[in-house]
Chain A
């Protein structure tokens, strides 16, 4: 009797499995997307960053929310890991935006969404793990006592990103970033210098590609300068600030650090 029940159960499971196979939309079936969608994704990193700058000037998240809506429409019509990546990346900036506007509750909600999007993504590659670690790093400030434990997840995701692609600049940046913000009492600050020096020596992208991420180099320079400032090594701070500005002359953060160093 039990055997009969077990067989029936397996048959039901198999039917259900086949139904799933027929009804679940294929994640990579993006042939229906149009030229406008492609245009949206071309150079999307700069579009998000520029919108973020705009939100800071206008003290209004509208510019980011407009892109968020467009990406959501794109994701709704046909999901794709590239689209999910940029949705999460946008959430990260949206969270920073709310944070600078003094709304930590909304900031936490947005960064949690960034983390969820990446955590739920299947077949993550090196870039995806790096972004997940970055979002988790930013979320740590809202997690109080849990911070110490999220830190181990950041380490794991950052290291996985590095293991999958040892030349991915963003893997080194997120691990350096995590080490920079980990309190010394919990072992922080020991690897930040070596990780960031490695990051700035790597190319932004291994092959130029307008749809894929290229962030991390200017950020690595900024963090490296801040690390040297923190350890009272102004000579090295100046050297790397100058080197960074030579490559990213319009970078606001590096410019601000340069002024600080002049003072």
Chain B
């Protein structure tokens, strides 16, 4: 008993000697639950904060230090003697600044990616029922894709393809298509899907991280990591090629090399008459993508590509029909130097593109040489936990040299008809500066804002582009994106329009997205005013285009083996010629794309793809007068521009694939039948000698294609 009393007494004395520190731990959003609070002298005997952020901790020594810590926040340390007794102290935790490792890992990601309407990864492209492994074809399934001439140069939400840009590793690639005709349209893109990590589609309101676009943007980023070495050999009815990838000794470094040769003999031989305007094609291309991790902070990516195309066929222009021949060589290189530091992520981008095209048809002989130099520097930084900011400076120089013999009279195009020289040699240098900020304003709300201006030179008009965007994530499945702004770009000179012309647009768009495990649903409404002289076709120019559109997309994975999608677009477009208003070229009451994919067990997978829309608009020739100088009739166009449509366009395609794998090998067998109903969809109107009879040139008829890809993984 005697011993117990002194011990109790001691305990009481010790308790009295303890000071009780009371406090509340908060961050910028409120109380922090489960934060650690302890004394530096005895970390094991600490406490944790309550749901309301409150805590109490007994302190014996005034000389001790109170520590408040929580993962993801900067640790707070306070001398106990500085804390007043009998008072509730508030400890404000600040989220840790981005570590250098985080900068290295996430610096390369696009700052604007949360404001894209679609993100595609490599697999999405391969799995797309209509992509045929082509990244730009993969986006044509979207309702926002309004390509209406069986090509792949992106036309987004009714805009001319020359208003949108494709950005590859931060560098713009103009006209990124192969098998291109004189109008710079092509059937496949220049890109190999094996190189791609992610592809973002901005159908409206292109992020002002990039310039020189006034419609939309497709951003492609290449892979940063190669998991295994690979050799792919492919062969098909019209091509043969290889793709090899190899990791290098230095971790994170690798190279990818590929080449293809395309030939028409077998392809045209087995389907005679199905491509009436094609005589022959031969294409050779080679690409090399390398990535070097020079050290933890510094990496270099370099992609170089060369293509040589020879294309010949039959062309009709007014009353003349004859053979044409087009040869084109093109080479470009895109280089990116990435550097991570405590003050943010820097990348230096450099691109060079050179192309030369010869085109011969009737009395037209066109030699076009184009060079493009691009350089930019970007700085990305995270400010606090919720703001990302990018500053960018870019220099884009476009030089064009056209040496053209063109028809003196546009309706007289036979080899014997008179021609005149039409040369063009000019350079446009676009120097721009801008910044873009993305802010996680609240848990479910993201806000973005950007601006961009040009530093005018050579008499350029000074302009400012600006934008504002809100993404509201209603819950995990539903999201709304509201964006608007004003944008500028320069046209790329073409055979028909030999000028650099400044275009602008003002746009507002509302996009809704619902995504669940098996269902995807999107809807969009947009309005845009596009200004600046642009081509409606080779004879018509417009300086004002107004578009109101609505889009719906539904995709459902009904079972593990059955998937269905349907996309619908409504585009109301008007264009002005002087004071008069007419329908726009891409004015469609309906633009429907639908796809059904079935993958039975142990059998090949089947995809049926259907596309339907009204025919394109054109201005018919209603009369003619004989020109005695040339011997050709001069056509007289209807003054009611674009008032007539070609017949309704409908196309049904079937593709079949079978995948095998064994040991480290894979084999894909594929076949496709395009336009299986062999429907003659009208592409162009042609006339007899005096324009008294009109007939139509069709798009491609039923075509068969098949091949295989064999892969060896190591």
Identify the A interface with B (CB < 8 A).
Answer: 2, 5-6, 9-10, 13, 17, 20-21, 24, 26-31, 33, 37-38, 41, 78, 80, 82, 109, 112, 116, 119-120, 122-123, 125-127, 145-146, 148-149, 151-152, 155-156, 159-160, 162-166, 168, 182, 185-187, 206-212
Contact = CB atoms under 8 A, between A and B. Distances in A.
B456 to A, nearest CB: 23
A82 B34 contact: yes
A212 B443 contact: no
A5 B664 CA distance: 60
Given A9-B484, A21-B442, A24-B442, A33 B71 contact: no
A147 to B, nearest CB: 10
A106 to B, nearest CB: 13
Interface in B73-98: 95-96
Given A207-B46, A210-B48, A6 B508 contact: yes
20 contacts: A2-B506, A5-B508, A9-B484, A9-B508, A10-B468, A28-B27, A28-B32, A38-B51, A80-B51, A120-B476, A123-B72, A145-B127, A149-B123, A155-B225, A160-B102, A164-B101, A185-B714, A187-B247, A206-B69, A206-B71
A194 to B, nearest CB: 12
Contact of A122 (B36, B227, B440, B517): B440
Contacts of A13: 468, 470, 482
Given A2-B506, A209-B48, A145 B123 contact: yes
B165 to A, nearest CB: 24
Nearest to A182: B227
B121 interface: yes
B600 interface: no
Interface in B447-481: 447, 468, 470, 472-473, 475-476
A82 B48 CA distance: 13
Contact of B123 (A38, A127, A146): A146
B713 interface: yes
Contacts of B322: none
B444 A24 contact: yes
A210 B444 CA distance: 29
B484 A125 contact: no
Given A38-B50, A163-B101, A125 B442 contact: no
A166 B71 CA distance: 11
Interface in B221-241: 225, 227-228
B71 A212 contact: yes
A41 B99 CA distance: 30
A41 B506 CA distance: 52
B517 A20 contact: no
B300 interface: no
Nearest to A34: B51
3 closest Cβ contacts across the A-B interface? Answer: A125-B72, A28-B30, A163-B101
A29 to B, nearest CB: 5
Nearest to A127: B71
Interface of B: 27, 29-34, 36, 38, 43-44, 46, 48, 50-52, 69, 71-72, 95-96, 99, 101-102, 104-106, 121-123, 127, 225, 227-228, 247, 385, 440-445, 447, 468, 470, 472-473, 475-476, 482, 484, 506, 508, 517, 529, 659, 663-664, 713-714
B51 A26 contact: no
B44 A208 contact: yes
Given A6-B508, A119-B476, 20 more contacts: A6-B484, A9-B484, A24-B445, A28-B27, A28-B33, A38-B50, A80-B33, A112-B517, A120-B476, A122-B444, A148-B123, A149-B121, A160-B102, A163-B105, A164-B72, A187-B228, A207-B46, A209-B48, A210-B48, A212-B34
B710 to A, nearest CB: 15
A46 to B, nearest CB: 16
B448 to A, nearest CB: 12
A38 B34 CA distance: 10
A43 to B, nearest CB: 12
Contacts of B475: 120
Contact of B102 (A37, A146, A164): A164
Nearest to B713: A185
A26 B29 contact: yes
Contacts of B127: 145
B105 A159 contact: yes
A122 to B, nearest CB: 5
Contact of A186 (B228, B441, B443): B228
Nearest to B447: A17
Nearest to A113: B517
A116 B38 CA distance: 34
Given A120-B476, A164-B72, A151 B227 contact: yes
A214 B506 CA distance: 53
Contacts of A119: 476
A10 B482 CA distance: 10
Contacts of A126: 71-72
B52 A2 contact: no
B34 A164 contact: no
A125 B443 contact: no
Nearest to A149: B123
Contacts of B470: 13, 17
B52 A17 contact: no
B110 to A, nearest CB: 15
Contacts of B34: 41, 82, 209, 211-212
B31 A116 contact: no
A30 B52 contact: yes
Given A185-B713, A211-B48, A20 B472 contact: yes
A20 B445 contact: yes
A31 B48 contact: no
A189 to B, nearest CB: 11
Contact of B29 (A27, A41, A148): A27
B33 A211 contact: yes
B32 A6 contact: no
Contacts of B48: 209-211
A163 B102 contact: yes
Given A28-B29, A112-B517, A185-B228, A165 B71 contact: yes
A44 B115 CA distance: 37
Contacts of A31: 31, 51-52
A109 B516 CA distance: 12
Contacts of B529: 2
Nearest to B227: A187
Contacts of A186: 227-228, 713
Nearest to B69: A207
Contact of A30 (B51, B121, B482): B51
Contacts of B476: 116, 119-120
A148 B713 CA distance: 13
B546 to A, nearest CB: 10
A109 B99 CA distance: 35
A160 B106 contact: yes
Contacts of A209: 34, 36, 48
Contacts of B71: 125-127, 165, 168, 206, 212
Given A13-B470, A126-B71, A146-B123, A27 B228 contact: no
A99 B285 CA distance: 49
Contact of B664 (A78, A80, A166, A185): A185
A13 to B, nearest CB: 6
Contacts of A10: 468, 484
B442 A20 contact: yes
Contact of B385 (A109, A123, A185): A123
Of A41, A112, A168, A212, the most chain B CB neighbours within 10 A belong to: A212
A182 to B, nearest CB: 8
B43 A207 contact: yes
Nearest to A26: B30
A27 B31 CA distance: 10
Contacts of A112: 517
A92 to B, nearest CB: 17
Nearest to B666: A185
Contacts of A27: 29-30, 443
A54 to B, nearest CB: 26
